[in-house]
Amino acid sequence: MKTTFVETAMSGARHLAAQVLPAIMIGLCAFVVFGPLVNLFMWAFAETWFFPARYPTEYGFDFWKRVFRPRAGAWTSLFASVWIALATVGLSMALAVPAGYALARLTLPARTLIMLIFLLPQAFPSLPIFVNIARMFYGLGLNGTYIGVVLVHSLPGLVYAVWIATAAFAAVDRTMEEAARNLGAGPMRTFQDITLPQAFPGLIAASIFVFLDSIDEFTGTFFVGTPDISTLPILMFNASMGGNYQIAAITALILLVPSIGFMLVIERFLKADVLSRIGR
Amino acid sequence: MSDPLAMPKPSAQLRAMLPGLLLIAPAILAIALLYVVPLVRSVVFAFVDADGGFTTAHLATALELYRRDVIFTVLVALASLCLIAVISIAIAGYLTLGATPWAVTVLRWLYRWPLFIPFIVAGQTARSFLARNGLLNSLLIDSGLMDPATAQSLLDWRGLVLTFAWKQVPFVTLLLAGAMASVDRSTVEAARNMGAGKLRCLIEILLPQVRGTLSVGLILSLVTIMSVLSVPMMLIAGNPTMMTSMMAHRVTYYGDYAVANALGLFSYLITVVAAFVYLRMTLAQQPENGR
Amino acid sequence: MKRTIVLGAALSAVFSLPLAAQTLNVVTAGDTNMVDYINDYLGPLFEEQNPGVTVRALGTGPGDGGSQAMYEKLTAQKDNDVWDVDVGVVHQRMAGQMVSEGLLQSYRDRTATDELVNAANAENALGVDVSGYVMPMFQSQIAIAYNPALVDNPPQSYSDLVEWAEANPGQFGYNGITGGMAGVGFVFGWMYAFSDMAETLINGPFDEATPASWSPALEGLKAFNQSATITPGNAGTLDALNRGEIAMGPVWMDMFYTWVADGRLNPELQLLIPTPGMPGQPMYYVVPDKAAQAELAVKFIELATSPEVQAEGIVRRFNWLPGIDANAVKEQLTADEWAVLFTDVTPEVLAERGMSMPQAEYFSAILEAYERQVSN
């Protein structure tokens, strides 16, 4: 009897631990992830918040009205941001799909070096680069055009696009391609019917990162796009750097909408076998 | 493909490479025109003096005034990468091996959020979250976990490391969890049957197999950390701070691209060292691919 | 039937386009309130007076970084025939540089409000002759903000401030010299107080040997920094004051009043200017050399510098100090409205302790000396 009781207690404790420990861990994670986001959310609705009050003393929608009054151009900028991000995804993928295929499948000289070249635009602080690009684009008449902005946006995202596309093509099962070729399909047909569909989830994953990179790009848009083209980060940058927390927080929340929407749509395309090959 | 013993003639070798080169040319061209050309045009200034001659004076100025900032940048980057690696491995490991299904599901939903937050927003929310009288301390004080007198500001290197980690952990975890999921489960199962703990399985079986993915995630995080301007601008007061901040300072207050670019070179140097380490690793790891 | 109407409407819209397509690009450095000022007040007013014109406002970022960004944008298109900035609003240092590099056009004599401009800094910007090229939008001044709840008896001079900071370590905060002009201005004020050469620093002539003689002043500042808190940026100082983390710190008066008006800053905070004084600077309206709509731009600036607009927009809405002749603006306001400008700092104190920034070469020399000796 006694032993059974102890055993029951033990297993109960173990069972409890098995449930409680993950709960504590999840709680901690939730705090770390959402704490700063809650902070952002509070700022978006706080009308007065200063010492010695530890939390906002007044909430309201005044700043929302300011952000969304027609002249401020929040809507136009939002649409411009989304449209530019989508076009950037298109352009980057048009460059990255052939490049990724070549890097994954074909013989290339100095393959690793080529992979690294795509990494470098991310590594150098972008300000001097964009100043020079602006100089070139003014000469070409590309300043203030969507094409110009999309071109500069596709640059930093290209490393994600190419690296992930390469991984996607490397993960495609070759035996199926060979079977198709044996059945008489041409190389283009094989690519279109066999390779591309299999690599598709990976290519979608790549476009997520390109999209996210484009949607919060500031410096390039400023030098190449403005004043004709304005995006949400352009609106937010001033507010943020100038310490106007409410305006910046609201703009940030708006900026989250397309990002999260895009992610939700595309979530199911993220496949483990592709993710495991990125960068190789 | 061809007989590995027969050395192909150079022209044949070139012909074999032609399709690949053609396919990759547009992407390379884009990088060359949109990145290499402007980069060269700007980096040249780091070595040109007022009369157009060659000089290393700008490099010397950069080193003299901003040596501490360079060291600070390296240390912050390293600390951030360590934190990112540890947390990502832990989360990805739990997602792969975790035994509590609801916890795994919730965690999978939870960890990705910061991925969508732009850096400028992350910096801004960190600035008011981590301050001495910021929301973090307020919450800790109100919940009785902290004594108001011991509250201190985290807006220094710790704030930087935390913000970078907060933003980059989801990215690395995403890659890592994907890689771990595709690892052959049978070895893990076998080890579990032999009585190995989960932690041991993670460290001794899973981790070695996803090392490549981890290093890719970390190197992408490194270049991001090196180039983000808004976070150090908003979190760090005075010196030392990240190099990007000082580059912007040099341009804003002196209109001095020469020293700014000289600083940029250091940032490249750090990336190249990391890339070199990464290359050594991948080359050592994939001899079977013959690449 | 319906379709033809739609088509006709579309066609007439296309044909009326040239009339309606006049867009005036107003690009401004500074905080969001600068963009708001154009968007909410000046832009609509100008559009009302000039049918068919659209005013488009764009911010380039706060502080001198914003002016630098505009400068980059103009130099990048230097070889083009037409530039995409019609009206610029820039800081003092950059205005001088833009004039000497030929990026701006002289327009002041083409405005009717020309003779209302009487500030010395409308002729000379940090040692560069800018006469004719600029008109001040408003005058801004750096002052020390303090929390009366934490400071009973605020120090009235730089020397007293040093003692106070020593007695209250960590309670004085400023943003160094890398985080914005409020901190830079505090350092300039320090140099005016302790270098014994304020006059030379402001008016020149520049002598390369001078910086070597600053060592005692800079050593003092280094020691002072030990008991001071360094904040991240102009906004960071206001933030820290707001959260009660510091009790005193240098801020821009215009920014301070805007924050209070927005409910973003504790309205109990007060301002003072310690002796010998702290620097201030105007924001300038400028017209780029090859502005597409130069005529319209001049007209816009004329409106912006009229006494009515200065009274309504600059003083009544923002509590900023007017850019043109104060007496002309004063006539448009009640005594009470005018007095609001001087709640904390009286006109006499402002006249006596509001100083100019150092001339351009000393400006850079002081910053570089600070980087070498104080922060290194």
Q: Which domains does chain A have, with CATH numbers?
A: 2-60 (no CATH), 71-275 (1.10.3720.10)
pLDDT of A260 > 80? The answer is no
In angstroms, the separation between the Cα of residue C335 and the nearest Cα of chain A is 30
The answer to whether B236 and B245 have CB atoms below 8 angstroms apart is yes
Which phi and psi (to 5°) does residue A126 adopt?
A: -80, -15
Using only the alpha carbons of chain C, give its radius of gyration: 22
% of chain C residues with pLDDT over 90: 62
Cα–Cα distance, C245 to C228 (Å, whole number): 12
In this prediction, residue C307 carries a pLDDT of 95
In this prediction, residue C2 carries a pLDDT of 47
Read off the pTM.
Answer: 0.83
Query: For chain A, what is the mean pLDDT?
Result: 82
In this prediction, residue C12 carries a pLDDT of 44
Max mean pLDDT among A177-186, B235-244, C154-163 falls in C154-163
Kind and range of the H or E element at A59? strand A58-59
Query: Does residue A48 sit in helix, strand or coil?
Result: strand
B-chain CB neighbours of A142 within 8 Å are none
Q: Which of A229-243, B35-49, C215-229, C300-314 has the lowest mean pLDDT?
A: A229-243
pLDDT band for position B9 (50/70/90)? low
Rounded to 10 degrees, the C-alpha dihedral B170/B171/B174/B180 comes to: -110
Closest residue in B to C242 (Cα) is B133
Domain covering B66-112+156-289 assigned CATH 1.10.3720.10 in the classification: yes
Pick from C186, C364, C371 the residue to mutate for testing the B interface (most B CBs within 10 Å). C371
Return the CATH fold of C2-139+281-342: D-Maltodextrin-Binding Protein; domain 2 (3.40.190)
Q: Where are the domains of chain C?
A: 2-139+281-342, 140-280+350-373
> Is the reported ipTM for this assembly greater than 0.85?
no
The answer to whether A146 and A87 have CB atoms below 8 angstroms apart is yes
Q: Which residues contact B184 (CB under 8 A, 6 or more apart)?
A: none
| pLDDT tens column, A200-211 | 877 887 888 888
C-chain CB neighbours of B249 within 8 Å are 178
| pLDDT tens column, A67-126 | 888 877 788 888 999 999 999 999 999 999 999 999 988 888 878 788 878 877 776 667
The tokens of B96 are what?
Answer: 């792969």
When CB atoms are compared, the residue of B124, B182, B271 closest to A245 is B124
In this prediction, residue C370 carries a pLDDT of 93
In angstroms, the separation between the Cα of residue A239 and the nearest Cα of chain C is 6
pLDDT of C1 > 50? The answer is no
Please judge whether A54 and B286 are an interchain contact, meaning their C-beta atoms are less than 8 angstroms apart: no
The residue among C187 and B273 whose pLDDT is bigger is C187
In angstroms, the separation between the Cα of residue C178 and the nearest Cα of chain A is 14
pLDDT of B245 > 70? The answer is yes
Look at residues C258, C35, C49, C31 and name the one whose alpha carbon lies nearest to residue A72: C35
The residue among A224 and C51 whose pLDDT is bigger is C51
Q: What residues form DSSP beta bridges with C272?
A: C144
In this prediction, residue A124 carries a pLDDT of 65
Query: Does residue A58 sit in helix, strand or coil?
Result: strand
Query: Does residue A109 sit in helix, strand or coil?
Result: coil
In this prediction, residue B4 carries a pLDDT of 47
In this prediction, residue C60 carries a pLDDT of 87
Note whether A243 contacts C: Cβ–Cβ < 8 A. Answer: yes
pLDDT of B127 > 80? The answer is yes
Which whole number is the average pLDDT over C349-359?
90
Q: Which CATH number fits domain C140-280+350-373: 3.30.450.70, 2.60.120.10, 3.40.190.10, 3.40.50.620?
A: 3.40.190.10
Q: What residues form DSSP beta bridges with C25?
A: C56
| pLDDT tens column, C256-305 | 988 888 788 888 999 999 999 999 999 999 999 999 999 999 999 999 99
Which whole number is the average pLDDT over C31-39?
85
pLDDT band for position A3 (50/70/90)? low
In the stretch 256-295 of chain C, residues with CB closer than 8 A to chain A read: 259, 262-266
Note whether C239 contacts A: Cβ–Cβ < 8 A. Answer: yes
SS (H, E, C) chain C: CHHHHHHHHHHHHHHCHHHHCEEEEEEECECHHHHHHHHHHHHHHHHHHCCCEEEEEEECECHHHHHHHHHHHHHHCCCCCCECCCEEEECHHHHHHHHHCCCECCCHHHCCCHHHCCCHHHCEECCEECCCCCEEEEEEEEEEEECCCCCCCCCCEHHHHHHHHHHCCCCEEECCCCCCHHHHHHHHHHHHHHCCCHHHHHHCCCCCCHHHHHHHHHHHHHHHHHHEEECCHHHHHHHHHHCCCCCEEEEEHHHHHHHHHHCCCCCCCEEECCECCEEEEEEEEECECCECCHHHHHHHHHHHCCHHHHHHHHHHHHCCEECCCHHHHHCCCCHHHHHHCCCCCCHHHHHHHEECCCCHHHHHHHHHHHHHHCCC
Do C2-139+281-342 and C140-280+350-373 come out as alike in CATH topology? yes
Longest alpha-carbon distance in chain A: 91
% of chain B residues with pLDDT over 90: 16
pLDDT of C14 > 60? The answer is no
Distance, CA of B92 to chain centre? 17
Query: For chain B, what is the mean pLDDT?
Result: 83
B-chain CB neighbours of A101 within 8 Å are 23
Please judge whether A129 and B212 are an interchain contact, meaning their C-beta atoms are less than 8 angstroms apart: no
In this prediction, residue C21 carries a pLDDT of 67
